[in-house]
Amino acid sequence: MNKTILFLLLLISARILAQVNVKTYNEKIEGGYIYYADNNEQCPVSIKVSFKLKNLKSSKDNNKITLLPANTKRIEISRLTTIRKGKYEFSSSYTFNYGDHYQYDYDEDFEYYLPFQNTEAYKVDQGYNGTFSHQNENAIDFTMPIGTHIVAARGGIVIKVIDINYRRCEKKECEKFNNKIIIYHNDGTFAEYTHIKKNGAKVKIGDIIQIGQLIAESGNVGYSTGPHLHFVVFFQKLNERKTLKTKFKINDGNKTETLVEKNEYIRNYN
């Protein structure tokens, strides 16, 4: 019987220290190895592995990006087999991140809820491609008091919750203190709700969320100049985030539009 040797590889880059829960390992077979990955996340993950081989050949191209479906085990990344008799060995390096790296299509016509409760109204302090911190980013900042109830603008599954931080400053270096909730949608996009208050999350990883459901209380934590909610929808690529413009239901919900900076929007629908 072949002996299975598991190598849990440590996450080393700043991006990967975002705690994407993926494990890679190999299984010894006659004349080589099978290299596997487990995805313990609630959403798909893309992984790229680079091999350095000695007297081995790979069944797949080096640096090929493989998609790991959500909550899956023993996804074969490559088979490494000997070229000739003699000693053989390999080393590997890798990077991975949430989402399908090759996905570009999504539901562009989806009508998002305003991410606050019925009868409330808030101003968009900074909109898409804003001049302060949204340059080349399709994100929206809603100015609102600390403790405002935040609801899901779209349904999905919670993949990340951070609400342990309390520090704040007006410098980009304080991004590391951002509290946030990330929800994965059924069209492959993600939504991030950022700057929620310490201990302000009302959901946990793995929760299935309905549109309009309470998910958090707003705050003023991390890289922030004042109490607000930072909201962004995006595709996650391996090494970058592609942010997307969205349409929101406004007023009584019978009208949708792309929100404009400095305008106030009211939600009068459930």
Q: What is the CATH number of the domain that holds 188?
A: 2.70.70.10
143 with 258, same domain: the answer is yes
Query: For residue 19, what pLDDT band results from cuts at 50, 70 and 90?
Result: confident
Q: Give the length of the chain.
A: 270
C-alpha distance from residue 59 to each of 33, 51, 110, 140 (Å): 11, 11, 40, 45
> Would you say residue 134 lies in a domain?
yes
DSSP 219: B
134 with 258, same domain: the answer is yes
Mean pLDDT taken over the chain: 90
* Residue whose tokens read 């077979």: 29
State the pLDDT at residue 264: 97
148 with 246, same domain: the answer is yes
> Would you say residue 104 lies in a domain?
no
**Chosen domain end from 98, 121, 151:** 98
State the pLDDT at residue 106: 97
| Spatial distance between the Cα atoms of 237 and 259, rounded to a whole number of angstroms | 25
130 with 55, same domain: the answer is no
Number of domains in the chain: 2
Tokens in use for 82? Answer: 């000997």
**Chosen domain end from 98, 122, 155:** 98
State the pLDDT at residue 166: 94
Residue 256 near residue 236, CB atoms below 8 Å: no
Buried b (16+ CB within 10 A) or exposed e, 191-217: bbbbbbbeebbbbeeebebeebeebbb
Query: Residue 5: is its pLDDT beyond 60?
Result: no
Rounded to 5°, the CA angle 190-122-228 comes to 60
Q: Which of 8-22, 40-54, 250-264 has the lowest mean pLDDT?
A: 8-22
Query: Of 93 and 225, which is predicted with more confidence?
Result: 93
Domain that includes residue 192, residue range: 111-266
Query: For residue 236, what pLDDT band results from cuts at 50, 70 and 90?
Result: very high
54 with 121, same domain: the answer is no
pLDDT tens digits, 86-113 = 999 999 999 999 999 999 999 999 999 9
Residue 123 near residue 262, CB atoms below 8 Å: yes
The pLDDT > 70 percentage for the chain reads: 91
> Would you say residue 148 lies in a domain?
yes
> Would you say residue 24 lies in a domain?
yes
121 with 76, same domain: the answer is no
> Would you say residue 115 lies in a domain?
yes
pLDDT tens digits, 132-187 = 666 678 999 999 999 999 999 999 999 999 999 999 887 888 889 999 999 999 99
State the pLDDT at residue 130: 63
246 CB-near residues (< 8 Å, 6+ apart): 110, 112, 138, 153, 233, 258
pLDDT tens digits, 117-140 = 999 999 999 888 766 666 678 999
Query: Residue 258: is its pLDDT beyond 80?
Result: yes
Query: Residue 10: is its pLDDT beyond 70?
Result: no
85 with 119, same domain: the answer is no
State the pLDDT at residue 137: 83
> Would you say residue 106 lies in a domain?
no
Residue 90 falls in which region: left (phi positive, over 0), alpha (psi -120 to 50) or beta = beta
Burial of 140 (0-12, 13-18, 19+ CB in 10 A): buried
CATH number, domain of 83, equals: 2.60.40
State the pLDDT at residue 129: 72
pLDDT tens digits, 29-68 = 999 999 999 999 999 999 999 999 999 999 999 999 999 9
| Spatial distance between the Cα atoms of 165 and 40, rounded to a whole number of angstroms | 25
State the pLDDT at residue 35: 97
State the pLDDT at residue 11: 30
Query: Residue 73: is its pLDDT beyond 50?
Result: yes
83 with 119, same domain: the answer is no
87 with 29, same domain: the answer is yes
> Would you say residue 105 lies in a domain?
no
Residue 140 near residue 127, CB atoms below 8 Å: yes
**Chosen domain end from 98, 132, 162:** 98
> Would you say residue 254 lies in a domain?
yes
